[in-house]
Amino acid sequence: MTKNKVLVIVGPTAVGKTALGIELAQKFNGEIISGDSQQVYRGLDIGTAKVTQAEQKLAVHRLIDVRERTENFSAHDFVSEANYWIEEMHKREKLPIIVGGTGLYIQSLVEGYHLGGQENHEEMLILREQLALLSDEALFEQVKASGLEIPELNRRRAMRALEREKFGSAEENKGSAYDFCMIGLNAERKLLYQRINQRVDQMMTEGLLREAQELFEQNPTVQAAKGIGYKEFFPYFSGEMSLDEAVELVKRNSRRYAKRQLTWFKNRMDVPFFDVFDANYPQEILEKVKNFLG
């Protein structure tokens, strides 16, 4: 039986995923499902780099503004709701296109990886990065110390078991009912970091400080307030840091997050990457998608 097809566009923040998703949706009769853990929240638009109303008119977007900022949203929620929309799109003969940089969410969907109610994606990324730096000997020692029994032990299984022990359920991967085509976007680090810095400056111009202050005054302890672009301003509002220092902290944390995103997709998933500054990049992706769709 032929599996239904799904495109997945991943990569670090500010690399251009949204624009590519819209272009492919227009060319291939597609609709977009956001794979971003922060764009689900209503009223948090600037700091999450949420797709604009104008962009949403160019292509239908799902899983945008589906939670109040006082609510939680987990990998389990994402997989459940993304699967619903994938099925709904297939019934209407639309091509589902997942667009996002939240590695845990994307992998959970693509591999059928169950992590229960795990909610702090950034902590998961940090743990993944820490485990990736360990030697085989040190990694396997952690598995032994945790009392985990893993047949045919290797690095991938060791990391997965340690992550599941800390964050998730004991369910094994069930696989997916879909045929996924992965597309990764990247750029030379210096150019990517320039994009990130410029995006933060643009966010400040658009009113990011006002958005962050409202969150600080009304909902400082909710899950949404832990997102990069908001939490960095809290020390400023408390008088512990200057505004310039807070803005630089947003930029630094955004750059570090981009690095962790790339670490996730390169080390955990089979993702072919395309350099967005390569002149052949658009045509190469179009050819890849055409071949995938047959």
Question: Angle at Cα 123 formed by Cα 121 and Cα 218, nearest 5°?
Answer: 70
23 and 99 in contact (C-beta within 8 Å)?
no
Query: What pLDDT sits at residue 120?
Result: 56
Separation of CA 277 from chain center:
21
Query: For residue 255, which amino acid is it?
Result: R
Tokens in use for 213?
Answer: 């202050």
97 and 33 in contact (C-beta within 8 Å)?
yes
Separation of CA 46 from chain center:
17
With b for 16 or more beta-carbon neighbours within 10 A and e for fewer, the 114-145 pattern comes to bbeebbbbbebbebbeebeebeeeebbebbee
DSSP states of 124-193: HHHHHHHHHTS-HHHHHHHHHHTT---TT--HHHHHHHHHHHHHS-SPPP---SEEEEEEEEE--HHHHH
Angstrom distance (rounded) from CA 217 to CA 234: 9
State the pTM of this model: 0.85
DSSP helix/strand/coil, 280: coil
Separation of CA 148 from chain center:
29
Cα distances (Å, whole numbers) of residue 220 to 66, 166, 244: 20, 25, 21
50 and 99 in contact (C-beta within 8 Å)?
no
Alpha helices in the chain (DSSP H): 17-27, 53-58, 75-91, 103-111, 121-132, 136-145, 155-167, 189-206, 208-218, 234-237, 243-268, 281-293
Query: What pLDDT sits at residue 151?
Result: 86
pLDDT in tens for each of the 294 residues of the chain? 467 999 999 999 999 999 999 999 999 999 999 999 999 999 999 999 999 999 999 999 999 999 999 999 988 889 899 999 999 999 999 999 999 999 989 988 998 765 444 455 557 667 776 887 788 899 999 999 988 888 888 887 888 788 778 776 545 555 678 999 999 999 999 999 999 999 999 999 999 999 999 999 999 999 999 999 999 999 999 999 999 999 999 999 999 999 999 998 998 888 999 999 999 999 999 999 999 999
